[in-house]
Amino acid sequence: MFLLIFPLFFLFPLVNSIPVVCYYILNQPDIKELPNNLCETIILINSAHISENGKLEYREEDLDEFSHAFKGKIEFFVSITSSNPSFSFLVSSCPGVRMSAFPSFQTSNTTLMHEFSKSVNSMLSKYSFNGIDIDWEFPVWSRDAKKTDRAQFGPFLRILKSHLQPSGQKLSVAVSGPPTISRVAYDVDALAKYADMVQIMNYDFHVFNKLTNPLVGFNAPLHPMRVEISVLGEMNSEASMTTWFDLGLPKNISYFGIPTYARAYQLLTHYLHKPYSPATRSRPELTNYPDVCIFADSGYYTSVWNHNAQAPYLYGKDGLWVSYENERSMLAKMAFARKLGVAGVMVYSIGSDDFEGKCGFGRYPLLSKIAKLAKDER
């Protein structure tokens, strides 16, 4: 009997759970509505920022309220933004902070970097957060960036880590998804040496621009479509992850980013509705899953699953076109993330999911699906 059972054990090996990191904007939803069993780490966004003179500023009431939510059960992080709207800090379910679009002058001044790091350490200790998440979008690449950003990024992470490490606080860094940015923006050796977690933002691969990109397209395709070549063939999660690993980013600190939000467009004509069809404008009012599910279940709109991209979209005779996520795309992304052997997955964001259950699939249907698959509960 033992001889028969023994081989079967190896045919169906146990699959380890992987952690889920979730981004959260305070009161989107209300903090009392936050799930306490779907995310191992929650990162708070838009409650702290860096001033024009390089000083850390934050809303004490926000951090105090957040720090008391599920205390001891979930890790919390804080995200920090600059006065520039493209720069942001975040808090996660492991108490911590996230930062985005860090000013170039800050990382070129050693004294400023030390002073800032001390302020961050003090804030994290005061509110019992576990760490900070840096979201610089993007070194070298952004409109106000400098060519020296990449070289200065490493020393900044080293100094910040030196202030966090003695108290056991973690350092998370959010990085770009598009390989065109990733190849030029980041010092990967510094990420590997100093970051505890690297959140790979596998979304925003297609963003409408009336002059340079007046077309519809997938927000977060998993794989390329057959018609996509050259740069277009890299605007997907598969190419993103392959690029990061080729650059030397360790898998044991890599977190596969998954969006819950949608991107909507107005078609030039509903007769042309395939990906890369012409559009006249974006529809930012249709972003959250509850805004989209009503269209997906309506007979007036047509839902399409693109097998190559492993992503859904919908369109209607009124010209509406939406790239969104559903349980099928969550399953595809989670299976791919597990196949890659990454440290975990990251979700942006909690508030974009259906937290009230309006779609008829229960509360947090997308995040719940991710959490179940992270625990290998199919």
145 belongs to a structural domain: yes
- Average pLDDT (292-319) is 94
249 belongs to a structural domain: yes
Predicted confidence (pLDDT) at residue 107 exceeds the cutoff of 60: yes
Q: Which position has the higher pLDDT, 90 or 130?
A: 130
Its sign, for the CA torsion 214, 215, 221, 223, is negative
What CATH number is associated with residue 359?
A: 3.20.20.80
338 belongs to a structural domain: yes
Q: How far apart are CA 98 and CA 43, in angstroms?
A: 7
77 belongs to a structural domain: yes
Q: Which position has the higher pLDDT, 92 or 134?
A: 134
What integer best gives the mean pLDDT of the chain?
A: 87
Q: Which two tokens stand for residue 157?
A: 């992470």
Q: How confident is the model at residue 86 (pLDDT cuts 50, 70, 90)?
A: very low
318 belongs to a structural domain: no
The residue whose two tokens read 């069993």 is 37
315 belongs to a structural domain: no
Q: How confident is the model at residue 178 (pLDDT cuts 50, 70, 90)?
A: very high
233 belongs to a structural domain: yes
- Kindly provide the b/e burial profile for residues 136-153, where b requires at least 16 CB atoms within 10 angstroms of the residue's own CB: bbbbbbbeebbeebbebb
Least confident of 96-100, 125-129, 210-214, 355-359: 96-100
- Select the highest-mean-pLDDT range: 8-22, 53-67, 87-101: 53-67
Number of domains in the chain: 1
Q: How far apart are CA 43 and CA 344, in angstroms?
A: 15
The residue whose two tokens read 């059960």 is 73
Predicted confidence (pLDDT) at residue 88 exceeds the cutoff of 50: no
Domain hosting residue 350, numbered range: 16-260+326-374
321 belongs to a structural domain: no
